[in-house]
Amino acid sequence: MKHTRASLAPVRQITAALVACGLPAPAAGAEVGRVRIGEAEIAFETLGRSGPVVVFESGRGEDMQSWEHVARPLAACARVVIYDRPGIGRSSPRTGASVLLADTVVDQLAALLHAIDMPPLYILVGHSLGGFYAQAFARKHPAEVAAVVLVDAASPFEPPGVFVSTVPPKPGSIEAAEEAGFAPSVRAMLVGPPFPPVPLIVLAATDHGDTPEREALWRETQARTAALSPKGQLRIVDGSGHFIQIDRPQAVVDAVLEALRQTGADVSACKTTDPVR
């Protein structure tokens, strides 16, 4: 989907209007709103007043609340953007084809960031399928990306059909459209532009409730993903399930802070612990 400047007119909600509609009021220094991108209204929240722009991309069918325990601590030293893709959370229902391609998600995110006045360079943080979308964004807009953090992310190196949900998504749902778009998006990614040589931190969980062989295959896939960049590194997050940002949120915070440091940003206002290895 292509977007014109005319289609990006903001429809941001002031706090009083949000409360009247039953939506939570923004925290101090935050903005909550919705922006029209094409035919959809995309809900977003920004946190923090200064610093680099850190953009979070959620997993398949997941809303922005999955980043709650990670985004807010980072707002002390960065400008944070979380949002819901069309058809998810507070955004308007999705319309269009039954297959959602990564390229469409990338175009929508780029348009959103432009509309809410969040200029590059970006630190992209993506979980699961959202991590695959973050990789697609970095490949399509390499000059706009300073670093990438992947959180147990989907990868173009996954063996086809191996790491799929055991519960099929409901036909016609956003989850079904996103899942249907993964395989063709992988094919496009593998023949498209390369991943840029930016700092890349890949977090891999160890406890998916799967067999030791499949857990080892997942770690191997994550290691191949980390090798996409000469500045890539793999960090194993022991004892965490797939949602590392919920099970071990500080591990994600620390990874983002390390990525910020590698870009030269001052992160002294944010709390950190020893890095996860």
CB 240 within 8 A of CB 248: yes
What pLDDT was estimated at residue 94? 84
Q: Give the residue among 161, 134, 120 at the shortest CA–CA distance from 229.
A: 134
Q: Which two tokens stand for residue 218?
A: 């997942």
CB 275 within 8 A of CB 258: yes
Q: Which two tokens stand for residue 169?
A: 């998504």
Helix (H, G, I), strand (E, B) or coil at 148: strand
d(CA 241, CA 13): 36
Q: What are residue 53's DSSP bridge partners?
A: 79, 122
pTM for the model stands at 0.88
What pLDDT was estimated at residue 29? 57
Tokens 């996103």, residue? 178
d(CA 239, CA 205): 7
Q: Is the pLDDT of residue 9 over 50?
A: no
pLDDT average, residue stretch 61-70:
92
Beta-carbon-side half-sphere exposure of residue 181 (alpha carbons within 13 Å): 25
What does the pLDDT look like over 191-237, one tens digit per residue? 999 999 999 999 999 998 888 999 999 999 999 999 999 999 999 99
Q: Which two tokens stand for residue 133?
A: 């979308």
For the chain, report the end-to-end CA distance as a whole number of angstroms: 39
In the DSSP assignment, the letter for residue 133 is H
What pLDDT was estimated at residue 2? 31
What does the pLDDT look like over 257-273, one tens digit per residue? 999 999 999 999 987 76
Domains observed in the chain: 5-262 (3.40.50.1820)
Torsion (CA) 266, 267, 268, 273 in degrees, nearest 10? -150
Q: What are phi and psi of 232, to 5 degrees?
A: -85, 150
CB 151 within 8 A of CB 126: yes
How long, in residues, is the chain?
277
DSSP helix, strand, coil percent of the chain (3-state; round to 5) = 35, 20, 45
What does the pLDDT look like over 14-36, one tens digit per residue? 333 333 444 444 444 578 999 99
What does the pLDDT look like over 148-182, one tens digit per residue? 999 999 999 999 878 877 788 888 899 999 999 99
Instruction: pLDDT band for 8, please (50, 70, 90 cuts).
Output: very low
What pLDDT was estimated at residue 276? 46
* C-alpha separations of 184 from 51, 68, 69, 102 in Å: 36, 31, 33, 9
- Quote the distance between the C-alpha of residue 140 and its chain's center: 15
Q: Is the pLDDT of residue 107 over 70?
A: yes
